[in-house]
């Protein structure tokens, strides 16, 4: 069963017809169907019923959202911890005066959060989704400590390693209630990562 919210794709696969730039993809799908002895059915999903996929296609994968201040304060109070540095922050979303960015920012302590030492810090670590695996490796290598903010996505390649390094965990709730969008996200009609968020 193939489900799509794109009526052109639905028509193209169902009728084995497509414009040149889609032809290779359609041919490959039909070849896989034939090689495996499958009979594929394709159906159109209305946009209203396709919320999760629609959100994923509009998800901002990096940087222009932040944990809401009150959510972070609740975690810090519950765990009786104090943050010494904010990693992967921007000037607009930094929660602390000491912060490192991924880009150049004159007010930041430095840039490229992954290259600096985290050894003697208790960091707020809220990395862009594409580098979560790299961040976990850095935590393991440096025996770093802190609070990491990540989506609750058990199917991700980094999930097992994340669980292995987790000392304590708190589910914060649905992303729309936990994360705050930045102005660039609003202008581009992007969404925060779907699902629940963990600290």
CA distance 68 to 177: 8
d(CA 74, CA 180): 16
| pTM exceeds cut of 0.85 | no
19 three-class SS: coil
| Residue 14, H or E segment | helix 7-15
Position 53 scores a pLDDT of 54
Q: Domain residue spans in the chain?
A: 2-49, 65-198
Across the range 152-181, mean pLDDT stands at 95
Quickly state the pLDDT bin for 58 (edges 50, 70, 90): very low
- Convert the pLDDT of each residue in 92-133 to its tens digit: 888 999 999 887 888 889 888 888 899 999 999 999 888 999
CA distance 43 to 135: 39
């Amino acid at each position: 069963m193939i489900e799509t919210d794109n009526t052109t794709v639905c028509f193209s696969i169902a009728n084995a017809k497509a414009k040149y730039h889609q032809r290779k993809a359609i041919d490959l799908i039909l070849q896989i169907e034939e090689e495996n002895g499958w009979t594929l059915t394709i159906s159109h999903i209305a946009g209203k019923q396709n919320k999760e996929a629609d959100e994923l296609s509009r998800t901002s994968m990096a940087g222009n959202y932040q944990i809401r201040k009150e959510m972070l304060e609740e975690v810090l109070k519950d765990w009786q911890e104090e943050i010494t540095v904010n990693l992967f922050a921007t000037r607009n979303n930094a929660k602390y005066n000491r912060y490192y960015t991924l880009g150049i920012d004159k007010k930041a302590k430095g840039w490229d959060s992954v290259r600096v030492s985290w050894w003697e810090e208790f960091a707020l670590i809220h990395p862009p989704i594409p580098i979560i695996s790299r961040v976990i490796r850095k935590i393991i290598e440096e025996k770093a400590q802190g609070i990491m903010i990540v989506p609750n996505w058990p199917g991700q390649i980094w999930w097992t390693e994340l669980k292995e390094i987790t000392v304590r965990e708190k589910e914060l709730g649905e992303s729309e209630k936990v994360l705050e969008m930045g102005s660039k996200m609003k202008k581009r009609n992007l969404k925060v990562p779907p699902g629940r968020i963990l600290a």
